[in-house]
Amino acid sequence: MSAVTRCHSHREPRPASLAVRRPEDALAVILTAAASPARPETICVVLDHAHRGLGVIVVDGAMSDDGIFEIAQVVLRAADGRGTIGAVVLATARPGRSYQPTADDHDRWFELRARFEATGVELLDWFLIAGGFVASLAELTDSKWLWLDDQAR
């Protein structure tokens, strides 16, 4: 996947038993869960250590950009050393705004990745969705590739 891609409505369910191996797999899950028409929301895909689906959390409504930390904290509390949650993918829909991350979004990404890493959970990516496009913070920041598919970028 490139750092920015056009998103297409995807409504076909993906079996949880299939590993989420690359960003396109995660986007298929995210776009299935996303509201249509688009509205402000954050979607969190929760995976086990083999990157198979454990669940999807959708937080509906507008919130401050720093609200992503509150969502991350909920997921981290759920993980709390149990060893069940192995990886997470975040996506924030920002209709009416740019899909391009701000400098503050870049800072948020690195802070989020550090928080997840400290608890032993991989934060695979954080996607920003707006105007029919998706931007990958992992790709745009040239972050370490954590996806199972070893064909990094």
* pLDDT at residue 43 greater than cutoff 60: yes
- Assess if residue 131 is contained within a domain: yes
Model pTM?
0.89
What is the structure's pLDDT at 4? 62
Question: Residue 90 sits in which domain range?
Answer: 4-140
- Assess if residue 12 is contained within a domain: yes
Structure confidence by residue, pLDDT tens digits, 45-92: 999 999 999 999 999 987 789 999 999 999 999 887 777 999 999 999
The β-bridge partners of 3 are: none
- Assess if residue 108 is contained within a domain: yes
What is the structure's pLDDT at 116? 96
What is the structure's pLDDT at 50? 95
Domain tally, the chain:
1
- Assess if residue 126 is contained within a domain: yes
| DSSP string covering the chain | --SEEE-----S---TTS---SHHHHHHHHHHHS-SS--SEEEEEEE-TT--EEEEEEEES---TTHHHHHHHHHHHHHTTTS---EEEEEEE-TTS-SSPPHHHHHHHHHHHHHHHHTT-EEEEEEEEETTEEEEHHHHTTPPP-SSS----
Q: What is the CA radius of gyration of the chain?
A: 14
Structure confidence by residue, pLDDT tens digits, 85-118: 999 999 999 999 999 999 999 999 999 999 999 9
Average pLDDT for 26-40: 93
The β-bridge partners of 123 are: 88
- Assess if residue 102 is contained within a domain: yes
- Assess if residue 75 is contained within a domain: yes
- The CATH number of residue 54's host domain is 3.40.140.10
- Assess if residue 61 is contained within a domain: yes
User: Which range is least confidently modeled, 4-18, 24-38, 111-125?
Assistant: 4-18
- Assess if residue 152 is contained within a domain: no
